[in-house]
Structure 1
Amino acid sequence: MLSISLFFVFNAQAQSINRTKFGKGIQVVAEDSSFSFKFGIRFQTLYQGVHTKGTKGWDDRFLIRRARLKFDGYAFTPRLVYKIELGLSNSDIGAGGGGDISQTNNADNIILDAVAKYQLTPTLSLWVGQTKLPGNRERVISSQKLQFVDRSLLNSRINLDRDAGFQLRNEHQVGTVLLREMASISMGEGRDITVNNAGGYDYTGRIEILPLGEFQGDGDYVGGDIAREETPKLALAASYDFNDNASRSRGQLGSFLSEQRDLSTWFVDAMFKYKGFSAMGEYADRKVPNGTPVISYQLDGTVDETFVTGKALNLQAGYLLASNWEMAGRYTTFDPTAVTGIGEQEQYTAGLSKYIVDHSLKVQSDVTLIKEQGRNDRVQFRMQMEIAL
């Protein structure tokens, strides 16, 4: 796949206009402006070690957390743009013990994004294909542009992931206030499932309000204040998702279960930035509207199969120094529905990052105290390097 992509790119360069810079990929525009094509690569190398209180051991690993190929541009007209993103690492694909392998027989996990976006009017666009749903802010922020080594506990327990379907997105200005409305209908089972739909569809709506105007460089979806906003910027948003007869334990993610349940999820989130300081908060609430999330119990009464439901809160803030070092802190809590048998958890994280070329070349580290019901406290240390060309 990589060799074919590189052949196409460099062969096209001889006949087209090429504009590029570090972190922006190889960009090609046809001489007649009938299409554009951009190719980029990125990967993350991660070291992770965990110490459990009461033990002498240090469990660690070194892995390629993510490895991606990215393609985007426009076709025929600048009003029709496309994006394709492929994941090559075991964690991306869902194999190797670090990811979810339950769907590998029914899905092509290499494909992360394959979406076309058509600008219907100056403010309204239609998206068709597979991409992230308009859910919680932290999930929509690219894994390349996170403030910490990885997303929070809230996101790992309750989020809306990639799904196949269509979305309508509208953006308009009212005075100095920027408003965005988004709606989607998707299959509800996650990335590129190749069997027939097992339940109902997934319906998502999201509203965003930016009362102080637009962030620089789409900074409301970038971790840390890399742009160093000269005036205060604030984004407020709420999302609601209804997954009709969900088949997987976490909606678009998790194990396929033997029965189905309706899942109802609320998200409320906010992002603030000003002169290097940034703060973000999210609250999530997922429930089964009628009945119990538990599917079955073992003979001893422990839960055998269950949907993951409950409430979660994530708060984080950081300050970017003039030297491009950033210090940040994060607090996350997950309060699962009691009947599921999942333990409550709290995490306290301190992060330190060095941005060499914004989020395209950086080194990040964090230390997390993990307090989980029914388990000894753990301390986790992570260090990660990101390279995006």
Structure 2
Amino acid sequence: MKLKLTALAVMLCCVLTSHAQETETNSPKFGKGLFNLVGKDSTWSMKIGTRMQFLGSSIWNEDDGDLGNPQSNMLLRRARLKFDGFALTPKLKYKIELGLSNRDMSGASYYTHNTPRVVMDAVMKWNFHGNFVLWFGQTKLPGNRERVISSSNLQFVDRSILNAGFNIDRDMGIQLHHQIAITEKFVITEALAVSQGEGRNVTTGNLGGHQYTGRVELYPFGKFEGKEDYVGSDLKRTATPKLALGVSYDFNDNAVRIRSNSGSYMETDTGLFETDITTLFVDAMFKYRGLSIMAEYADRDADSPVAINSDGTPTGDIVQIGSGYNFSAGYLFKNNWELAGRYSNTDFKEITGRDTTNEYTLGVSKYIVGHKLKVQTDITYADNAIKSDKLACRLQFEIQF
């Protein structure tokens, strides 16, 4: 294995070196990729990029009004390699993203062949007719807005507790995307997905049923410039008001994991426990002249949330049913400093044993080269119904090429 990795690294270095002189004069701008290669006959292209996030955090528990038990941590939060381009025609695009940090690769199990989950995205996108685009491969499902926004384009250091508790993440399957203009400005987009239902990098085949996801978005004032509806903050300082309203519904037939297609597997004495799980998302994004506002609602339910053995005794695995909502707003000043606030809530059903939590976050960001080079910090107070309340401070630096 080491020999193969060494050989691959040497081959990659040779390819990059051979193109060094050619790309020296036309290399991309900062944040637009390390290399942007195009075949001599213009039948293919490949942009190669990388990004890193360095995170430091401190957490205190609150007991009887006093902060104590401090904990601190410094880590490489994310480290990614990205490849994208087209093959044969610009209508056939592809994307590959690899996660190299421990957090990116975590989750190895029997179901992933006991190997690190290095591959984040590996997807093809074929614009086969008009505004119809067929996706196939492994990538994010069309779920809640905050999850689909790239972790490199977030308004805060990281996503909210709503996303942590309810998102449907990535999966292997096919998706059909389409958009239609109702009027000169009013645009509607739709997405349908059929996926395996067990999450990314699963090697054991389809373990339960399949997962079906649908999403509709309305743009009453027209589409955002440059897909800014899926970028945190209003770095474009949108000249006219823009609003996106989205609804997603996900049905996982005979799901075998406690959070639909993620979380632990529900194992019993005779195999895996199966139950139908539904997830609903409603969200909105508004931007205007440096002001950005995002709101989300999520709800998950299951036919039989408690996993049981063949004799009727509970296994201890319970589907994480409940609801949550998330509201955030920020303003970008002319010097590219941003002040933002966020309120998030998760209210899991009592049967799950999970805490009801309210989080209040205040964030400050300095965008040096937009999201490509930035420093972000935030402070969060978590009000828990059962466990001790917590105060957390985080500082993160991000760089992208």
TM-score by length of 1: 0.93
User: Does 1:52 find its partner at 2:66?
Assistant: no
Q: Which amino acid aligns with 1:169?
A: H
* Residue 111, structure 1, aligned to residue 135, structure 2: no
* 1:280 aligned residue: 294
User: Does structure 2 conserve the Cα–Cα contact (< 8 Å) formed by 1:332 and 1:347?
Assistant: yes
**CA spacing shift, 1:102–1:315, aligned 2, 3 Å:** farther
Aligned residues: 380
- Worse-matched range after superposition: 362-371 or 173-182: 173-182
1:294 and 2:301 aligned: no
Per-residue deviation at 1:102? 7.8
Structure 2 Cα separation of the partners of residues 2 and 58 of structure 1: 42
The counterpart of 2:156, out of the listed 148, 152, 173, is 148
Partner Cα distance (2:347, 2:315) in 1? 17
Tell me which residue corresponds to 1:320: 332
Deviations 1:61-115 (A, max 9, x none): 00000000000000111111000000000110116xxxx8685545651000000
Aligned to 2:5: none
For residues 48 and 101 of structure 1, do their structure 2 counterparts lie closer, same or farther at Cα, with a shift above 3 Å needed? Answer: farther
Q: In the aligned structure 2, how far is the partner of 1:2 from the partner of 1:23?
A: 23
Corresponding residue of 2:100: 88
CA spacing shift, 1:6–1:230, aligned 2, 3 Å: farther
Distance 2:9 2:43 in 1: 24
Alignment counterpart, residue 18 of structure 2, candidates 11, 14, 35: 11
Q: Secondary structure in 2 aligned to 1:370?
A: strand
**Cα deviation code 1:106-136 (max 9, x no counterpart):** 5651000000110011200100100000010
What is the distance in 2 between the residues matched to 1:208 and 1:78?
Answer: 25
Taking a change above 3 Å as real, the CA distance of residues 134 and 3 of structure 1, as seen in their structure-2 partners, is: farther
The alignment yields a C-alpha RMSD, in angstroms, of: 2.0
Q: Provide the residue aligned with 2:176 in structure 1.
A: 168
User: Who is 1:183 aligned against?
Assistant: 192
User: Secondary structure of 1:248's partner?
Assistant: coil
Distance 2:354 2:137 in 1: 34
For residue 211 of structure 1, what is the aligned residue in structure 2?
220
| Residue 172 of structure 1: how far off its partner (Å) | 2.1
Deviation at 1:304, TM superposition (A): 2.1
Indicate if the aligned counterparts of 2:306 and 2:314 stay in contact, CA closer than 8 A. no
Answer yes or no: is 1:358 the counterpart of 2:366.
no
Query: What is the rounded CA distance, in whole Å, between the counterparts of 1:226 and 1:336 in structure 2?
Result: 35
Q: Residues of 1 paired with 2:143 and 2:62: CA distance?
A: 36
Distance 2:45 2:239 in 1: 33
- Contact between 1:296 and 1:306, CA under 8 Å: does it hold in 2? no
SS in 2 for 1:139: helix
2:285 corresponds in structure 1 to 271
Gaps of 5+ in 2: 1-7, 268-272
Cα 1:328–1:15 change in 2 (3 A) is closer
Deviation, structure 1 residue 9:
3.5
Name 1:260's counterpart in structure 2.
274
Q: Once the 2 structures are TM-superposed, how far is the Cα of residue 186 of structure 1 from its aligned partner?
A: 0.3
Whether the 8 Å contact between 1:29 and 1:35 is mirrored in structure 2 is yes
Displacement of 1:6: 4.4
